[in-house]
Amino acid sequence: MLQSLKNIWDVPDLRKRVLFTLGILAVYRLGSHVPTPGINAAALVDFFEQNRSNWFGLVDMFSGGNLANVTIFALGIMPYISASIILQLLTVVVPTLERLSKEGELGRRKITQYTRYGTIGLSIVQSLGIAIYLERLTLSGDFSIVETPGWAFRLMCVLTLTTGTAFIMWLGEQITERGIGNGMSLIIFAGIIVGFPSGLFDSLRRVSTGELGLITAVFLVVMMLAVIAVIVFVERGQRRITVQYAKRVVGRRVYGGQSTHLPLRVNTSGVIPVIFASSIIAFPQTIASFFEAQSPWMQSVADQLRWGMPLYNVLYVSFIIFFCYFYTAIVFNPDDVAENMRKYGGFVPGIRPGKKTAEYLDHILGRITFGGALYLAAIALLPEFLITGFKVAPIPVVGPGLDLFLTENGLAWITEGLGLNFYFGGTSLLIVVGVAMDTVSQVEAQLVMRHYDGFTGRGGRRVRGRR
């Protein structure tokens, strides 16, 4: 490992790319300390501490804490992610975009341009909504967050936050083109990982004061390492489909005849299903929390959509499984793969080329996608279980009896949680580990291309990314 890190600095081009990436990330972190004009940022601390589990907490996680302080980067990279997802979905249903996606580099640039326009549009709408909401938000003691409400503040907020998002988008593209790649992912990675030192010091402080037991702290560390190991193992997991190519004679040369494999990843969709599911559940949860004081029915809805509640868990897992299949169907088309294999003389042994091959691939992909969906759901729900537990009392008919049974038999920790401060949530942990794996694989590819050993050593297996 140390020799591989040394090799990075021995390659001038790679060294420049790494230093350029670190410089861009430093600029991104500097922008996190520039506040938006007209807002009393100190008054938002208590509000965001109470809204970590809804839409505000989700966006704040992706923005690296910028939304909680309403800095110029408050929206973070979320508008770009939303625009990219919308464009990917439209590519499937809009024939014009589908043709562009198949036109190579020129089509990719055009779709990227549309994504930029969509990012700016979403940023304007979201920043205007945040400005109006902050104007109406009143804390205890009739204390207002916005110093001078009005259209002047709204336009300033829209201009500031939209410009900040556009600048973040430009920083990510610079990392992709001139850095080590994965620009947008590294921006999200930097926003999440920046809070790790404070979380570590806070845990050490709690251990020293006796607030957190030493055995509990050790258990928490072991749990985090075990979860990271599981994520790495599953993200690298794949089902290899053997593909045999028939021999072709072209002139005096013989082509084909070799046997290769088609890798089908266990988690083809990556972390996208968790992000989709979190966003969909967080939106009605946030809307319900706005009106829970005026309507008992809305208060009941908001309570049922909180962490640990049965309705929240059922919807969360259902959405994750649904989007796993949905997004996998978008990024992997068995019919196209089977047709390309048939066109170049390839076939799966024992399976007829064409339609039968497509059905076989679709069957295999459906089975491994279900396993990947369960894995994502388990990782996403684990922090919730450690913090709040699974509330079973609201379950109709059997809920109260089951809750009483668990309490009487010393299993109350299932419904009350372990009280652990699990720093990384499921979504953030998946992103951090996944981006780290992708970055390592890209740097390793650069080293191997220049005849250096990668991080896994000579003759070892290459580290594969999530895609």
> By CB neighbour count within 10 A (0-12 exposed, 13-18 middle, 19+ buried), where does 187 fall?
buried
Q: Is the pLDDT of residue 378 over 80?
A: yes
User: What would the mean pLDDT of 228-244 be, rounded to a whole number?
Assistant: 87
Can you tell me the distance from the alpha carbon of 305 to that of 316, in angstroms, rounded to the nearest whole number? 10
pLDDT digits (tens, 9 = 90+) for 278-308: 777 766 766 666 665 566 776 777 677 776 7
pLDDT digits (tens, 9 = 90+) for 114-161: 999 999 998 898 888 878 877 776 655 556 677 777 888 889 989 999
Q: What's the pTM?
A: 0.75
User: What would the mean pLDDT of 374-385 be, rounded to a whole number?
Assistant: 83
Quote the tokens at residue 436.
Answer: 């780290």
Residue 291 confidence (pLDDT):
63
pLDDT digits (tens, 9 = 90+) for 399-441: 788 888 888 777 777 777 666 555 556 667 787 888 888 788 7
- If you average pLDDT over every residue of the chain, what do you get? 78
More confident position, 209 or 7: 209
Least confident of 61-75, 89-103, 225-239: 61-75
Q: Is the pLDDT of residue 27 over 80?
A: yes
Residue 250 confidence (pLDDT):
65
Q: Is the pLDDT of residue 44 over 50?
A: yes
More confident position, 406 or 266: 266
Residue 5 confidence (pLDDT):
66
Least confident of 171-175, 217-221, 369-373: 217-221
User: What would the mean pLDDT of 100-125 be, rounded to a whole number?
Assistant: 86
Residue 213 confidence (pLDDT):
75
More confident position, 179 or 419: 179
Residue 455 confidence (pLDDT):
54
Write a three-state SS string for the chain.
Answer: CHHHHHHHHHCHHHHHHHHHHHHHHHHHHHHCCCECCCECHHHHHHHHHCCCCCHHHHHHHHCCCHHHHCECCCCCCHHHHHHHHHHHHHHHHCHHHHHHHCCCHHHHHHHHHHHHHHHHHHHHHHHHHHHHHHHHCEECCCEECECCCCHHHHHHHHHHHHHHHHHHHHHHHHHHHHCCCCHHHHHHHHHHHCCHHHHHHHHHHHHHCCCCCHHHHHHHHHHHHHHHHHHHHHHHCEEEEEEEECCEEECCEEECCCEEEEEEECCCCCCHHHHHHHHHHHHHHHHHHHHCCCCHHHHHHHHHCCCCCHHHHHHHHHHHHHHHHHHHHHHCCHHHHHHHHHHCCEECCCCCCCHHHHHHHHHHHHHHHHHHHHHHHHHHHHHHHHHCCCCCCCCCCCHHHHHHHHHHCCCCHHHHCCCCCCCCCHHHHHHHHHHHHHHHHHHHHHHHHCCCCCCCCCCCCCCCCCC
Q: Is the pLDDT of residue 58 over 60?
A: no
pLDDT digits (tens, 9 = 90+) for 331-357: 888 888 888 888 877 888 888 888 899
Start and end residues for every CATH 1.10.3370.10 domain found in the chain: 1-194
Q: Is the pLDDT of residue 467 over 50?
A: no
CATH code reported for the domain at 1-194? 1.10.3370.10
Q: How confident is the model at residue 4 (pLDDT cuts 50, 70, 90)?
A: low
